[in-house]
Amino acid sequence: MPTKTPARALKAAARSRASKPTSRPAAKSPARSRKAAAPAPATVVGSKQSQLIALLRSAPGATLPQMTELTGWQPHTVRGTISGVLRKKLGLSVACEAGESGVRVYRIVGA
């Protein structure tokens, strides 16, 4: 096998160095990667979300057809808002009970 000339050896070494990263990025420390808990976002007065919260805070609560009529949203959007925004993001406790004639009634309990 023929040996490389010094010029070819330098070029080969330069190519191998160029393809390899020169340094590794520093690993994140556990303390830096954790985010502080953000405060719960406030709702805008007069928004569909605030109207929905007011309806759910009323004594009789609200059924899904009442909430879809109020907001103009599809039923899956109302259920997603209850689950994702009201329960998870705002931390509200929303109870769902089977009311008269098997219709589910949602209401905010506590607070």
Return averaged pLDDT per consecutive 10 residues of the chain, 111 residues in all.
71 68 61 53 81 94 96 96 95 91 92 59
Using a pLDDT cut of 90, give the percent of the chain over it: 53
**Rounded to 5, what percent of the chain is helix, strand, coil?**
50, 15, 40
pLDDT at 5: 75
pLDDT at 12: 76
Whole-Å CA distances, 67 to 3, 21, 44, 97: 81, 57, 18, 15
Instruction: Single out the residue of 87, 98, 29, 3 nearest to residue 53, CA to CA.
Output: 87
pLDDT at 86: 94
3-class secondary-structure state, position 108? strand
The model scores a pTM over 0.75: no
